[in-house]
Amino acid sequence: MVDEISDFEILELAVRELAIEKGLFTAEDHRVFSEWNDARSPAAGSRMVAKAWTDPAYKSRVFADPLAASKEVGVDWAEPTGFGTTSDYMHLTVLEDTPTVHHVIVCTLCSCYPRPLLGHSPYWYRAPNYRRRIVRWPRQVLAEFGLILPPEVELRVEDSNAKSRFMVLPVRPAGTEGWTEEQLAEIVTRDCMIGIALPRPGRTSDGPRPIHKASRPVHSGGRPKEAAQ
C-alpha cells in the first residue's frame, strides 16, 4: 500500500504556494526561517546555565539583561529578521531556583516556550494533559516525571500566557566543584531548564521516555516516492 499523504501536508503546500504566487512572501523568506529553525537546540540554554554557574558577573547579567546574556552564548533574539520571530518576541526572564524555591514552566493557553534558547518544545509540553494539570496538581505531575520535591520547598509554576518567555536556572548540584563550563553544560538538559528535572553528575540526558517516531521526519524529503511520480 502506498503510504498515505496527510491532508495537512497538502494544505500546507497549498498555503505556501498561493502565498508565494501572490507575492505575500518569498521562497527566500521560507529558507531564511527554516535555517534559523534548524539551528535551534537546548544547547544554548545549557551553555547559559553553565556560564552563570561559573561566572558571578555573567549570572547578574542573566537577570539584568537576559537578551544581552543570550547573545554572549551565541543566541541573538532579534534573529532571523532583525526584530525577532513572530511567536517568541524579545522579552526573556530567567527564573532562578534556590534551595527553597523551585520553578517549572508551562503555557496553559497554547505553547509559548523560549525557542531561540531551547529549540522546539517537547510535544508533551504543548499537549493538553500537561497544560491542564501542571498548574493545579504540579507536585503530582513532577512526580510522574520522577521529580519529588520536599513539601517545605516553594514550588512556583510560571504560566507563560503573554509575551514574556521563561527559562529555569537550576541550582548547581553538589559534586561538580572544579568542573569546566563544558562539563557543567552536559548535565543541564532540556528538562532541567523546563523545571521537570534536576541536574546531577552523571545525568546527561532526559528520559528514557516513549518516542513517537515520525512517518516522514523533517528533511526526509517529505512524501513517499510513489506519490511524487
Partner 1 sequence: MPSPSETRQIYETGTQLRPTIHQEQDWPYEVPHIRYEALIWPPHDVGGQPAAPQIFEEKEDEEWENNAYITCEVLGFRGLWNAEERRRIYANDIGTTLYYGFPYNARWIWGAAKMLVDKKYVSLIELQEKIGEIRKRLGVNAQRGGHATSNISAGAQTNVTTNTGTGKTGTGNRPDYGSKAPWEGTGEIRPARFKVGDRVRVKDLPAIFYTRTQMYARNMSGTIAALTYPDLIPADEAWERYDAPQEQYYIVRFQQKDLWAEYPFENDTLQSEYPEMWLEAED
Q: Which is nearer to partner 1, 202 or 229 (CB)?
A: 229
CA dist., res. 70 & res. 74, Å (int): 7
Cell of 50: 553553565
Asked if 158 and 105 touch (Cβ cutoff 8 Å), the reply is yes
Asked if 118 and 45 touch (Cβ cutoff 8 Å), the reply is yes
Helix (H) or strand (E) holding 166: strand 165-169
Q: Which is nearer to partner 1, 34 or 60 (CB)?
A: 34
Instruction: Please provide the size of the chain in residues.
Output: 229
At residue 105, the 3 state secondary structure works out as strand
Q: How far is the CB of 57 from partner 1 (least distance, A)?
A: 22
Q: How far is the CB of 171 from partner 1 (least distance, A)?
A: 17
Q: How far is the CB of 181 from partner 1 (least distance, A)?
A: 10
Q: Which is nearer to partner 1, 59 or 189 (CB)?
A: 189
CA dist., res. 68 & res. 77, Å (int): 9
Q: Which residues are catalytic?
A: 107, 110-112
